[in-house]
Amino acid sequence: MAAMTSPLRVCRGILKEIRALKGREYKQTLAYNYVLDQFRKNQVSSERYCRAQEEALHTSQSYLCLLASTRLHLALHNLYHGKGERAPEQVAGMVGLRLPTQPGGKGWEK
Amino acid sequence: MKCTEQGMSVLIFVRLDCKGGQARLFTLLGNVKAYSTATSERKKFYQDVSISQGDDGLFEISLDRRKLKTPGGKLFTVPNEALAIAVATEWDAQKDTLKFYTMHMTTLCNTVLDNPTFRDKDQIITAALKFLETDTVCYRVEEPPGLVELQKNEWDPVLDWIEKRYNVVIGSSCNIMGPEIPEETKETFRQHLGSYNFWALTGLEYVITQLKSVVLSFGLIDRHLTVEQAVLLSRLEEEYQIQRWGSVEWAHDYDMYELRARTAAGALFVHLSSESSTVKRKLLQD
């Protein structure tokens, strides 16, 4: 069986992601209320094996992964791919190198 | 009103060009104005996103007061509330520009609603099962020893699991031709895939094409693996190379997060779409 993290952690993770998307008014969103509602409904008092709860937990883990991965992917996209072509100096800088400078400074060949 | 006309024109053209599949596709693409291409962005033209349930029980999305349409011009409808909320959240999350490449759930719903490649269930199943013949976890390397061991330790348990779960024989191979997969195995999977509805099947095929593996996709959909585990197993060789040579954020991490997002969207889509059918069955019993 897939490794399960606790429902509370997943729930808080999803709510955190919604806050990252919507800022302060995140409690007014459809997703916030729905997710909280679902987690409350699926709480069971006994520790008996509960298939439905496990399924719901897996689905919520997938949703958390979707939200987090989309956010991180977009962040990397904006950082590295969102700005079009870069200048040679910038490209060199990205891998920690510097382009060689002209020996006599700019326009030395005159 | 404008959008309805667009939808009509699609239908008319489709009927006229019934003979040439390609001509039909171009007609449809010609009508795709609202979304444009996947990588381009569009200015955000709405403030509020809400969902509502229509008379037929399907859920619709409204942007301000306008109903959301598919790129093909159809009314955007989904079978249950959870799916509607997931889609609405994607639209609500857009800031100044609409980034369609971050809206995976919307994209999947659009694919089902418009069915741009005009495929039926059997064709999707055949396309999905084609991946079994070249399944990622069935192809093993003979060197370097570290990777050989890693593949054995990580992939064999999943392979064992699926062979027991579906009572089939798959096997693995170091040969470029891959393992010989018996016809009975394909038939078992074909029947199993046939039990999914069109929505879930579209999502499942999407997961398979992302992970390049039927085995890992079933592992994920049957909840044997999490999204993170399935993606890790799918990228096992790359992860091995990263451990050895180092990670490059704008290539390795970028790809991994994209794959995770797409796979998670596909898995969620399958689970949410199949849930609605079980709920319907219960209602009928009452």
Taking the CA of residue A12 and the nearest CA in chain B, the distance in Å comes to 17
DSSP B102: G
Pick the CATH number of B2-114 from 3.30.2180.10, 3.40.50.1360, 3.40.30.10, 3.40.50.1970: 3.30.2180.10
User: Which of A16, A41, A63 is the mutation pick for testing B, counting most B CBs within 10 A?
Assistant: A63
Taking the CA of residue B90 and the nearest CA in chain A, the distance in Å comes to 9
User: Which of B216, B254, B269, B272 is the mutation pick for testing A, counting most A CBs within 10 A?
Assistant: B254
Q: Which residues are paired to B217 by β-bridges?
A: none
Q: Are B67 and B60 in contact (CB under 8 A)?
A: yes
Chain B CB contacts of A30 under 8 Å are 49-51, 85, 88-89, 92
Contact B257 A72 (CB under 8 A): yes
Chain A CB contacts of B105 under 8 Å are 66
Is B134 part of the contact surface with chain A (CB cutoff 8 Å)? Answer: no
What span, in angstroms and rounded, lies between the C-alpha atoms of A31 and B81?
11
pLDDT band of A82, cuts 50, 70, 90 = confident
- Give the mean pLDDT of B197-219: 95
- Give the mean pLDDT of A13-18: 92
Taking the CA of residue A91 and the nearest CA in chain B, the distance in Å comes to 12
Is B253 part of the contact surface with chain A (CB cutoff 8 Å)? Answer: yes
- Give the mean pLDDT of A71-83: 87
Look at residue B125 and tell me whether its pLDDT is greater than 90: yes
Closest CA to A55 of B158, B270, B196, B232: B270
pLDDT band of B12, cuts 50, 70, 90 = very low
- Check residue A36 and give its pLDDT: 87
- Check residue B17 and give its pLDDT: 37
What span, in angstroms and rounded, lies between the C-alpha atoms of B119 and B124?
7
pLDDT band of B204, cuts 50, 70, 90 = very high
Chain B CB contacts of A61 under 8 Å are 226-227
Instruction: With residue A70 as reference, give the H or E element that holds it.
Output: helix A51-76
- Check residue A100 and give its pLDDT: 78
Residue B5 burial class via C-beta count within 10 angstroms: exposed 0-12, middle 13-18, buried 19 and up: exposed
**CATH number of this structure's domain B121-246:** 1.10.3580.10
Is B229 part of the contact surface with chain A (CB cutoff 8 Å)? Answer: yes
- Domain ranges in chain B with CATH number 1.10.3580.10: 121-246
pLDDT band of A72, cuts 50, 70, 90 = very high
Asked if ipTM goes beyond 0.85, one says no
What span, in angstroms and rounded, lies between the C-alpha atoms of B165 and B159?
10
What span, in angstroms and rounded, lies between the C-alpha atoms of B179 and B163?
14
DSSP per-residue string spanning B220-273: HHTTSS-HHHHHHHHTHHHHHHHHHH---IIIIIHHHHHHHHHHHHHHHHHHHH
Q: Which two tokens stand for residue A102?
A: 């002209």
Is B247 part of the contact surface with chain A (CB cutoff 8 Å)? Answer: no
Is B157 part of the contact surface with chain A (CB cutoff 8 Å)? Answer: no
- Domain ranges in chain B with CATH number 3.30.2180.10: 2-114
Instruction: With residue B49 as reference, give the H or E element that holds it.
Output: strand B49-53
For a pLDDT cut of 90, what percent of chain A falls above it? 25
What is the pTM (predicted TM-score) of this model?
A: 0.81
